[in-house]
């Protein structure tokens, strides 16, 4: 990927403060990063350093106080709330630490949700959901409910849900935190195979050192700032 | 997303069952109690409905149909003299004591119909003939009399004899009429014979039943008769509502039933509101995930509303259905009183709609203020 290509995601000097009563907590103190098309960018750092807050402001689920964020050329600061909601619906896929699969819906129904939100009919959405589940190796589990699936299988359903509407930005928050080492390894491998496309970008927040090797690049955060950038993940593991 | 919302609701069986049961119970309580209240009010107007005359002339002090202030017999002639009256006949109604074959007593409501016209005669005759009231000692009894006598071991049928105030009465017919508020059996006879059965008094006339000439309205006639000093004429419908109003204002019945209905509403709000709040609260994380995925607030609000109104609709259907079943059973047994006019299910539907909306609002408040970023916490 040429470095002259505009970045998929550009974050510049972003500040975010949480106010609770009289107390204020500055979670982001001028964080900056760039994510490129076709890459998996991992954001790593100790607990409380602002990784998840940064992920939240990039995908527009959380506002920010100052700085600039551009995602695929869209300036989030300039967008109104309804536009950001629409932007998320059309461009972002989510993979959560606790999967957030609806326990009363089948795997296919869970995966079909982003498509239904797009206005696609239920029958067509479930057909595409089943195809996506087949792609992540769960063709025989389309009718199973999350409670009937293992942790790894649930995370694969979550990956299918995140990718079914072909988002340009895939947001993963600790995708392997609830999984054992082997399952986590398989899951991140599947995610990389299924999610990474030349016209999109995958952002992964993680603590899990074992999956650093799957990143194309890594940025390290500490105390609300990006403190280091590693173009080769091995540099961080050796550091 | 509405289909997804309904699947989320229906498949959470414990909460769904709790919500439906709570609202069904609330609907049943409100619908059944209101219908019994309406039935009781109908019983208070039994005399008006059984006799059915268009204009009733009573003493000026009378406030409702079951209150009899005797008048002089001459009042019938005075009413007949009013321009626009097609007919005016006397009616006697009084509580008398019947003595049965075995020596036991039973209070009865003696109804003395105009001897010539039998105006106000019972319409539904089960056995015998009302026309036979012109035979000596003849009376027609209602189904309540048959039932009450049967409980005392006496089979009341055409030809059975008993005494009213020591005077012999012979059953020539059995009829079916609306039960009276106090539940005494109706015993129909002619006005003249009623004068013999009843204990003698200076004034014996209970009502004058008047009918207007063609072209004269009931209310016009009421106005004309009202000009006679000392008498009060009331149109049938007005007497019906006056009676109900009197019972509502002068007895504890509406307070008693109203309390149960209010309790039904409170129970409904408490169960449905709390359970629905828990349901939304339990699903908040998933609703936040939908919000993060790009669901609009209006979509989420629609999901919550459709969930609330679905359980409301189903609970209402079950509650009203159970009330209808209860009504069928009690109507066959003829007690307790039961009358469910269309206004009752509409009233219950409005209350259930309110409870569902209230429950939804509690949940919506949380959903609309939900930060999608909570899914990352």
Q: Which ipTM did the prediction report?
A: 0.84
pLDDT in tens, B341-370: 999 999 999 988 888 888 888 878 888 888
Interatomic CA distance for residues A153 and A23, integer angstroms: 41
For the cut 60, the answer to whether the pLDDT of residue A1 exceeds it is no
For the cut 90, the answer to whether the pLDDT of residue B212 exceeds it is yes
A96 and B CB contact within 8 Å: yes
Bridge partner list, B106: B98
Q: Which residues are CB-contacts of B368 (< 8 A; sequence separation ≥ 6)?
A: B297, B300, B301
Confidence of residue A238 (pLDDT cuts 50, 70, 90): low
* Mean per-residue pLDDT, A139-164: 89
B371 and A CB contact within 8 Å: yes
Interatomic CA distance for residues B64 and B47, integer angstroms: 11
Residue-level pLDDT at A186: 79
Q: From the candidates B5, B293, B297, which should be mutated to test the interface with A, based on the most A CB atoms within 10 A?
A: B293
Query: What CATH number is attached to the domain comprising A197?
Result: 3.40.50.300
Asked if A117's CB is within 8 angstroms of B375's CB, the reply is no
Residue-level pLDDT at A2: 45
Interatomic CA distance for residues A151 and A96, integer angstroms: 12
- Within-domain flag for A1: no
* Mean per-residue pLDDT, B93-117: 89
Q: What is the percentage of chain A residues whose pLDDT exceeds 90?
A: 29
Asked if B292's CB is within 8 angstroms of A104's CB, the reply is no
Residue-level pLDDT at B214: 93
Please work out, in degrees rounded to the nearest 5, the angle formed at the alpha carbon of residue A197 by the alpha carbons of A192 and A203.
55
A92 and B CB contact within 8 Å: yes
Tally of structural domains, chain A? 1
- Within-domain flag for A168: yes
Task: Decide if A84 contacts A58 (C-beta within 8 A).
Answer: no
B290 and A CB contact within 8 Å: yes
- Within-domain flag for A199: yes
Q: Which of B283, B293, B377 sits opposite A113 (nearest CB)?
A: B293
Residue-level pLDDT at B244: 94
Bridge partner list, B170: B138, B161
- Within-domain flag for A172: yes
**Alpha carbon A238 to chain centroid, angstroms:** 26
For the cut 60, the answer to whether the pLDDT of residue A3 exceeds it is no
Residue-level pLDDT at B90: 95
- Within-domain flag for A2: no
A116 and B CB contact within 8 Å: yes
Choose among B116, B97, B111: nearest CA to B173: B111
pLDDT in tens, B129-180: 999 998 999 999 999 999 888 888 888 889 999 899 889 999 999 999 988 8
- Within-domain flag for A4: no
Interatomic CA distance for residues A59 and A35, integer angstroms: 13
DSSP calls for B145-186:
HHHHHHHTT----TT-EEEETTEEEEEEEEEE-PPPTT-PPE
* Mean per-residue pLDDT, B233-253: 93
Question: By three-state DSSP, how is residue A201 classified?
Answer: strand
* Mean per-residue pLDDT, B32-45: 91
- Within-domain flag for A21: yes
For the cut 90, the answer to whether the pLDDT of residue B186 exceeds it is yes
The DSSP symbol for A70 reads: E
Confidence of residue A4 (pLDDT cuts 50, 70, 90): low
Q: From the candidates A55, A92, A95, A116, which should be mutated to test the interface with B, based on the most B CB atoms within 10 A?
A: A116
* Mean per-residue pLDDT, B321-342: 85
pLDDT in tens, A32-81: 999 998 899 999 988 888 888 999 999 888 889 999 999 988 898 888 88
Which residues on chain B are in Cβ contact (under 8 Å) with A92?
293-294
| Tokens read off for A20 | 């609770």
* Domain that residue A107 falls in: 9-238
Which residues on chain B are in Cβ contact (under 8 Å) with A94?
289, 292-293, 375
Residue-level pLDDT at B188: 95
């Amino acid at each position: 990927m040429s470095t002259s290509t505009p970045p998929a995601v550009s974050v510049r000097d972003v500040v975010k403060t949480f106010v609770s009563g009289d107390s204020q907590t500055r979670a982001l103190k001028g964080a900056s990063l760039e994510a490129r098309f076709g890459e998996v960018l991992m954001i790593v750092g100790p607990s409380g350093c602002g990784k998840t807050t940064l992920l939240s402001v990039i995908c527009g689920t959380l506002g920010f106080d100052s700085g600039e964020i551009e995602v695929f050329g869209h300036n989030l600061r300039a967008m109104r709330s309804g536009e950001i909601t629409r932007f998320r619906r059309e461009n972002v896929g989510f993979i959560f630490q606790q999967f957030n699969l609806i326990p009363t819906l089948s795997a296919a129904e869970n995966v079909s949700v982003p498509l239904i939100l797009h206005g696609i009919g239920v029958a067509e959405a479930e057909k595409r959901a089943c195809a996506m589940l087949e792609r992540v190796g769960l063709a025989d589990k389309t009718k199973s409910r999350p409670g009937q699936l293992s942790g790894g299988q649930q995370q694969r359903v979550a990956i299918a849900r995140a990718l079914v509407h072909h988002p340009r930005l895939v947001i993963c928050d600790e995708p392997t935190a609830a999984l054992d080492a082997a399952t986590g390894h398989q899951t991140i491998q599947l995610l990389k195979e299924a999610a990474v496309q030349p016209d999109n970008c995958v952002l992964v927040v993680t603590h899990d050192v074992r999956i650093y090797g799957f990143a194309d690049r890594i940025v390290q955060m500490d105390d609300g700032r990006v403190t280091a950038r590693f173009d080769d993940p091995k540099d961080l593991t050796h550091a | 997303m509405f289909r997804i919302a309904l699947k989320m609701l229906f498949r959470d069986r414990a909460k769904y069952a709790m919500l439906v049961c709570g609202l069904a119970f609330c609907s049943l309580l409100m619908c059944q109690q209101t219908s019994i209240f309406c039935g009781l009010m109908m019983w208070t107007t039994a005399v008006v409905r059984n006799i059915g005359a268009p204009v009733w002339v009573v003493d000026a002090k009378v406030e409702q149909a079951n209150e009899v202030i005797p008048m002089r017999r001459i009042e019938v002639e005075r009413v007949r003299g009013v321009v626009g009256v097609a007919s005016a006949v006397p009616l006697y109604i009084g509580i008398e004591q019947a003595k049965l074959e075995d020596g036991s007593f039973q209070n009865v409501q003696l109804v003395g119909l105009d001897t010539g016209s039998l105006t106000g005669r019972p319409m539904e005759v089960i056995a015998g003939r009302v026309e036979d009231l012109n035979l000596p000692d003849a009376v027609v009894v209602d189904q309540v009399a048959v039932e009450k006598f049967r409980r005392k071991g006496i089979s009341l049928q055409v030809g059975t004899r008993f005494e009213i105030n020591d005077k012999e009465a012979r059953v020539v017919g059995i009829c079916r009429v609306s039960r009276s508020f106090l539940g005494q059996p109706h015993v129909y006879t002619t006005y003249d014979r009623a004068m013999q059965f009843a204990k003698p008094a200076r004034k014996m006339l209970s009502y004058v039943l008047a009918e207007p000439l063609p072209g004269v309205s009931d209310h016009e006639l009421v106005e004309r008769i009202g000009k006679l000093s000392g008498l009060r004429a009331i149109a049938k419908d007005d007497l019906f509502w006056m009676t109900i109003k009197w019972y509502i204002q002068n007895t504890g019945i509406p307070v008693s039933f109203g309390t149960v209905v209010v309790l039904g509403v409170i129970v409904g709000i408490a169960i449905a509101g709390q359970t629905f709040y828990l349901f939304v609260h339990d699903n908040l994380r998933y609703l936040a995930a939908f919000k993060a995925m790009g669901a609009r607030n209006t979509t989420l609000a629609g999901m919550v509303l459709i969930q609330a109104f679905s359980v409301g609709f189903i609970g209402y259907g079950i509650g009203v259905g159970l009330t209808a079943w209860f009504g069928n059973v009690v109507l066959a047994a003829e007690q307790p009183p039961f009358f469910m006019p269309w206004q009752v299910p509409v009233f219950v539907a409005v209350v259930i709609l309110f409870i569902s909306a209230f429950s939804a609002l509690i949940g919506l408040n949380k959903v609309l203020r939900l930060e999608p970023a909570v899914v990352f916490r």
